[in-house]
A and B are shown apart, each in its own frame.
Chain A
Amino acid sequence: EAGVVQSPRYKIIEKKQPVAFWCNPISGHNTLYWYLQNLGQGPELLIRYENEEAVDDSQLPKDRFSAERLKGVDSTLKIQPAELGDSAVYLCASSLGPAESNYEQYFGPGTRLTVT
């Protein structure tokens, strides 16, 4: 069974440019998460979707970050405009059911963003 797929794996952009990351969760997984991992730290949740609904976006910086999961399957995370401090790894994870069903979260390989 294929795992969580993310693309691109690496992205280098200049500050003030827009950037987008794509995630395809494990087949059949209804819950999707985006986490941000700064160098040398543990990941931090940005947003959680259950199907196409964003049920926890309290930590998403909405002035420059946006996300969508229009058909409840794959998802896109966008930054516009990017800042130097956005350089990090953006991880996508998925789980089989809603949060209260207590399934584990499975992570993709991440997209490493470098803003110059």
Chain B
Amino acid sequence: AQKVTQAQTEISVVEKEDVTLDCVYETRDTTYYLFWYKQPPSGELVFLIRRNSFDEQNEISGRYSWNFQKSTSSFNFTITASQVVDSAVYFCALSEGAAGNKLTFGGGTRVLVKP
């Protein structure tokens, strides 16, 4: 069965500090997709990025970067130079077989960025 674990429940940083969110996943499928979603206080889940199991290339997009390592089943997410608007709950998610199959979410990590 698929499982996603986000060990950090809450992270508090001061503005402009970097913050890294950990995500560890379990799956028996060889084809799977990993996602990060942001949930601000308004409640709407905002899609940030996805990676498939065949693409281990890490990526930087603006202040966001991702580190996907199949060897350790990890898909970590870093916000560089954090801003107050980054305060939200961040969810890591996994789908097996196809990106449109059901998403299995981790428990989320609450990020609080203080001015």
Q: Which of A14-22, A69-77, A78-86, A96-104 contacts B (4 or more CB under 8 A)?
A: A96-104
Interface presence of B99 (CB below 8 A): yes
Q: Which residues of chain B from 4 to 52 have any CB-CB distance to chain A below 8 Å in the complex?
A: 4, 33, 35, 37, 42-47, 50, 52
Count B interface residues, CB 8 Å.
26
Which B residues touch A103, using CB under 8 A?
Answer: 99-100
A residues near B (Cβ < 8 Å) are 3, 31, 33, 35, 40-45, 48, 56, 59, 89, 91, 93, 95, 97-110, 112
B100 touches A42 (CB 8 A): no
B residues in contact (CB < 8 Å) with A: 4, 33, 35, 37, 42-47, 50, 52, 91, 93, 97-108
- CB pair B98–A42 under 8 Å, yes or no, is no
CA distance A101 to B89 in the complex (A): 28
Asked if B108 contacts A99 (CB within 8 A), the reply is: no
Contact A110 B108 (CB under 8 A): no
Top 7 A-B residue pairs of the complex, sorted by shortest distance between their CB atoms: A42-B105, A99-B100, A107-B45, A102-B99, A45-B102, A100-B98, A109-B44
Closest chain B residue to A4 by CB distance? B44
B106 contacts A42, C-beta separation under 8 Å: yes
Q: Is the CB of B103 within 8 A of A105?
A: yes
Considering the complex, give the chain B residue whose CB is closest to the CB of A91.
B45
Q: A89-B43, A109-B44 are in contact. Are A104 and B99 (CB under 8 A)?
A: yes
